[in-house]
A and B are shown apart, each in its own frame.
Chain A
């Protein structure tokens, strides 16, 4: 069985170093990590490969640093890693991304049986690449999959969609996107990363190597254009209380206690202590 997993490197948003004095994030120090849902998709692929035998290819489009997540995937058990790295591919929306990934899959592993992706990325969270890649490759597909079983060439998958628990069946070749609900990723084996690095096994490809039409990739191939970016103005003119904690809290309750108290049917504006 021939499996291809699409991986994306994302910034470690939730683990950014953070200055507890100023309460600010040190964004400059943001490191990359494998997008969590991609990691679960890789785990699903590795388990299938273990059970069925075959070959697992990992594929990513991104800057040179994205090699890191591909080495990680090799250390975890992927057989082959490809990075699509080309300034012409930069600035791609999901339309261009799905086109590019499709060309790469067809160039690198045209006889694949199963394409696996994460259900969404933590940096864009559109979840559009999976469905659009399925269209581009014209494959039967299931999204947000939590559980899967393979019998012969037929996949049975389970997923939750808008309050329905669905069991779906589809034949290979197929495409699935995987959630972070199941397929808990295995630990990276000790020494595995060093070995993977030593083998120097990430193949770097550019847009021409995958036979892509340059009009359809990167920013050029994207439909959306950014008009402007802005920081939303804070709307309210509120009260700022800067005194000692106890004093501020008392002031809060004295000024707004009736509003709060009204909600819970209690008088909060006045202190009962000493009165009764």
Chain B
């Protein structure tokens, strides 16, 4: 099967849809939260486009509400989003040959959700290259499709939260699609002892360090998982 730019793009959009759906309640809650922090609607909506990182936007809204100084807000958002540096390193080898404009566009879309899908897609290999090594690699179109699908849903659900002010009932548990998607992506990756060791140690540290502020537990867990994985592999 030959994969064109269009099919790669649409596959990315399609795969991102379930996660985007799960993101809708978060986007709406963010919109409501931003307004209650006295952030004007236009600014609340713009933050979803300018920062485009859910959990850091939640924290920013809370900091604005409590009257925190601007420098503290910027720094906090930076620390919360520090984990994206890991994603950046992880996708970097696959983006190496792309034109700079592609890199600048894709890194804007590098969220948890788009990263998880794109890296899994990249690691599956390039079906085009397997058929014919001279054939082009269009997998960055998959990344673009996944990233744009999430981006659009995030903007729309922020707007819904701002203008409707209502939240999806919690009993629908739509937020559960996010861990389910990550679960669906991580289980097939656990092919050897080292990646199992990486996953278990990272999970354990994430539990122990959960109460750390600014999602630092996540970074700590990620680094621990990588270390344990490498150690297990070298044994």
A and B form one complex:
no
| B residues with CB within 8 A of A | none
